[in-house]
């Protein structure tokens, strides 16, 4: 009887597929652990971000990068007009029709309110 010449290639393909599937599952498991660790680090970085960076990302489009005002009012001397708690209230609840509520929340809002209250 003559042997089929395709059998060695079929076995190679089957072994290759098994290895690919095994390595894929291993990589998914490793990626999930790194993703969970990375998520915690990103959250800590976001919480530890400087008030200037938080302002630049969330407020500068209306109030200007230099606090000089654009669509929204200038904030260069806002600390002379409002206390930290009043500024925090405006950040959380909005003001009038132009300032939306809740653009910044939690510790980030507190940090920005403190930073802006020092602008006198």
> Is 63 known to sit in a ligand binding site?
yes
Q: Is 59 annotated as a binding residue?
A: yes
Helix/strand/coil (H, E, C) string of 67-99?
CCCCCCCCCCCHHHHCCHHHHHHHHHHCECCCE
How many residues would you count in the chain? 120
Q: Does 1 belong to an annotated binding site?
A: no
Binding-site entries for heme c:
59, 62-63, 99
Binding-site entries:
59, 62-63, 99
């Amino acid at each position: 009887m003559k042997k089929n010449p395709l059998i060695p290639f079929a076995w190679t393909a089957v072994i290759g597929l098994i290895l690919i599937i095994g390595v894929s599952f291993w990589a998914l498991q490793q990626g999930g652990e790194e993703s969970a660790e990375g998520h915690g680090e990103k959250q800590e970085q976001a919480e530890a971000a400087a008030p200037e960076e938080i302002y630049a990302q969330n407020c500068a489009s209306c109030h200007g990068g230099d606090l000089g005002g654009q669509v929204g009012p200038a904030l260069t001397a806002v600390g002379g007009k409002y206390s930290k708690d009043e500024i925090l209230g405006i950040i959380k609840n909005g003001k009038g029709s132009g300032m939306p509520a809740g653009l910044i929340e939690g510790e980030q809002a507190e940090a920005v309110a403190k930073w802006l209250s020092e602008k006198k």
